[in-house]
Amino acid sequence: MGGLSVWQQLRENLPNESLIFFGDGLRCPYGSRSEKEVLEFTVEGVERLIAEGCRLIVIACNTATAVAIDYLREHYPNIPFVGLEPAVKPAALTTKSGVVAVLATERSLKGRLFVQTSAKYEDKVKIIKAVGEGFVEIVEQGREHTAEAKSAVERVVEPLIAAGADRIVLGCTHYPFLRETIEGVIGGRDVEVIDSGSAVCRRVAQLLDEHNLRADADAVASYRFITLADDDYLKRVESRAYGCSSEAKA
């Protein structure tokens, strides 16, 4: 379900581009799995998307990006890939307190991209890392507006604010679905929540132009959804996809 937070922004910002969404509801979450498993699952998904005719692929999962993006770019040189990494840079450049918190999965926080990006700013700001325990499962089950979700968010977010963080980076594509709950816990305190969605859209647009892949201005976009899970999960994916967009399903 997490990749739908990226799907939403792509659909709204690139309305002429057709999108195929692959969601691995069968084996999610990836965050606590081994690197071998995550790489295997990600390659399987990429192969499926290529078979469906995709010419640009967004790895709409921070964990999969952390583990697999280098492998994918090496082994599929003709496919432009866009990966996700926690938005440390904008958080570090705008923090007033000098403390930035990054919420992500365990695997993402160990990934090369995050480690390298964090190293650029660790001498300027304090970066606190935290795992969103239970967040992915809550979103997968559609329970982000429950008392359970609020309690889970409070357990993770309150210590970050107490430690002085005034920027909280959402480093997992599931977490934006909890944004309203996170902001509710923050309340009136001067803390900003940041995610990577807009940066991903800009990079996708740039690559579409660089590789001459952009759809015609009058193209009518189509949307398809694929999952390894059952039909009920697929229906929930489709429902959430259109429900989280500002437009109604056509």
Of 54, 172, 201, 244, which is the active-site residue?
172
Number of Cβ within a 10 Å radius of residue 79: 16
61 is catalytic: yes
54 is catalytic: no
Q: Taking a C-beta distance cutoff of 8 angstroms, is the pair 97, 166 a contact?
A: yes
The Cα-based distances of 172 to 79, 85, 106, 136, 187 in angstroms read: 23, 8, 10, 9, 22
> Residue 176's closest CA among 121, 247, 240, 98?
240
| DSSP letter for each residue of 95-153 | -SSSEEEEEE-HHHHTSHHHHHHHHHHTTTSEEEEEE-TTHHHHHHTT-TTSHHHHHHH
Q: Taking a C-beta distance cutoff of 8 angstroms, is the pair 135, 155 a contact?
A: no
DSSP reduced 3-state for 223: strand
Of 28, 61, 201, 244, which is the active-site residue?
61
Report the distance separating Cα 59 and Cα 46, nearest Å.
9
Catalytic residues: 61, 172
